[in-house]
């Protein structure tokens, strides 16, 4: 059992470089953060600030030959940086689920969504095919995916990005991971479905004590969901604070600017309240 206040996921001095024709280029540097059990860490920053690179490097999902990841990434004290692919495969999905910003990359085009969903569940649990399929359908219904049976028979290219992302969230929910990394999980969705996805994430967090790294450019989503927030700009963290402090008393000029320039969501959007009631 983890002691209170101890971080489940800890990133220390993370720097990611990529080799290009013009030499090495640094994508993110000196990234430090931790997430406690059952907490949501929000990661915000403008487009290109390094949010996806940071999250992908946690599971070393960036092209390995071209990128160099320095620093330490620990899950419950286990160092992940430098693990072999075989070892990382055991951690991906089961310990850390990653909901990708570009969901097409998460699926193989040659198998149906159902085949991939069921096999992913089966590779990490002792369920048989029928049980895995039932579980998949139940969870898909809870994220409002219409006609789950039909979706499972489809190939990835037959579904929209938003649908594939919800399928990924459903897969994550089935496996009850220690950490969920969700990269812009609501961006491709309309308001109603955004709410369903956020409620599901919140439900997983509160029921299983899952820690969540929630990446979003939507400050409305972050303010509703996150406990702590880090703000990135040009590959660095420029501010990190408790969500209330960040919104009430932003310290960094860039954070103030982000807050000022956010679209006035709450004027048009229903507040995301009573998240636990799914």
Shortest Å, Cβ 259 to ligand ATP: 17
Q: Are strands 67-75 and 7-20 parallel, antiparallel or unpaired?
A: antiparallel
Does 47 engage in binding with ligand ATP (CB under 6 A)? yes
Residues 244 and 171 sit within 8 Å (Cβ to Cβ): no
Shortest Å, Cβ 214 to Mg ion: 13
From 49, 60, 116, 120, residue interacting with ligand ATP (rule: CB under 6 A): 49
* Dist. CA 19–CA 24, nearest whole Å: 4
**Residue nearer to ligand ATP on the CB measure, 139 or 214:** 214
Does 148 engage in binding with ligand ATP (CB under 6 A)? no
Mark the segment that binds Mg ion (CB under 5 A) among 3-11, 101-109, 193-201, 218-226: 101-109
Does 53 engage in binding with ligand ATP (CB under 6 A)? yes
Q: Phi, psi (5° rounding) for residue 78?
A: -85, 130
H or E segment at 242? strand 236-242
Counting residues that bind Mg ion (by CB under 5 A) gives 3
Site for ligand ATP in 194-233 (CB under 6 A): 217
Shortest Å, Cβ 62 to ligand ATP: 6
**Residue nearer to ligand ATP on the CB measure, 127 or 238:** 238
Selection from 107, 56, 105, 59 nearest residue 80 by Cα? 59
Mark the segment that binds ligand ATP (CB under 6 A) among 30-38, 41-49, 218-226, 245-253: 41-49
Residue 99 tokens, joined: 């909901």
Residues 230 and 239 sit within 8 Å (Cβ to Cβ): yes
* Dist. CA 217–CA 222, nearest whole Å: 8
Site string for Mg ion, 41-60 (x = CB under 5 A): ----------xx--------
Shortest Å, Cβ 73 to ligand ATP: 16
Does 236 engage in binding with ligand ATP (CB under 6 A)? no
Site string for ligand ATP, 162-201 (x = CB under 6 A): ----------------------------------------
Does 27 engage in binding with ligand ATP (CB under 6 A)? yes
* Sheet with 211-215, side-by-side order of all strands: 96-99, 179-183, 211-215, 40-45, 228-233, 236-242
**Residue nearer to Mg ion on the CB measure, 98 or 117:** 98
Selection from 97, 110, 183, 104 nearest residue 139 by Cα? 97
Burial readout 152-163 (b: 16 or more C-beta within 10 A, e: otherwise): bebbbeebebbb
**Residue nearer to ligand ATP on the CB measure, 53 or 113:** 53
């Amino acid at each position: 059992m983890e002691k209170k206040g101890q971080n489940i996921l800890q990133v220390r001095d993370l720097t990611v470089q990529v080799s290009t024709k013009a030499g090495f280029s640094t994508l993110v540097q000196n990234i430090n953060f931790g997430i406690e059990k059952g907490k949501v860490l929000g990661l915000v920053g403008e487009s290109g600030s390094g949010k996806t690179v940071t999250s992908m490097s946690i599971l070393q999902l960036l092209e390995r030959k071209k990128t160099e990841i320095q620093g330490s990434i620990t899950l419950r004290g286990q160092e992940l940086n430098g693990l072999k692919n075989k070892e990382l495969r055991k951690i991906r999905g089961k310990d850390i689920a990653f909901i990708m910003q570009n969901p097409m990359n998460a699926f193989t085009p040659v198998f149906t969504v159902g085949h991939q969903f069921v096999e992913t569940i089966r590779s990490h649990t002792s369920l048989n095919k029928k049980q895995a399929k039932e579980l998949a359908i139940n969870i898909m219904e809870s994220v409002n995916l219409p006609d789950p049976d039909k979706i499972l028979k489809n190939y990835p290219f037959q579904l929209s990005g938003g649908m594939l992302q919800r399928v990924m969230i459903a897969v994550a929910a089935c496996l009850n991971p220690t950490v969920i990394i969700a990269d812009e999980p609501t961006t491709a969705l309309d308001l109603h479905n955004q709410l369903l996805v956020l409620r599901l994430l919140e439900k997983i967090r509160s029921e299983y004590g899952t820690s969540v790294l929630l990446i979003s450019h939507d400050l409305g989503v972050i303010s509703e969901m996150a406990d702590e927030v880090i703000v990135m700009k040009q590959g660095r963290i420029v501010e990190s604070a408790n969500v209330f402090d960040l919104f009430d008393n932003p310290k960094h000029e860039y954070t103030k600017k982000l807050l000022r320039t956010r679209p006035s969501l709450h004027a048009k959007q229903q507040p995301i309240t009573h998240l636990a009631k799914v």
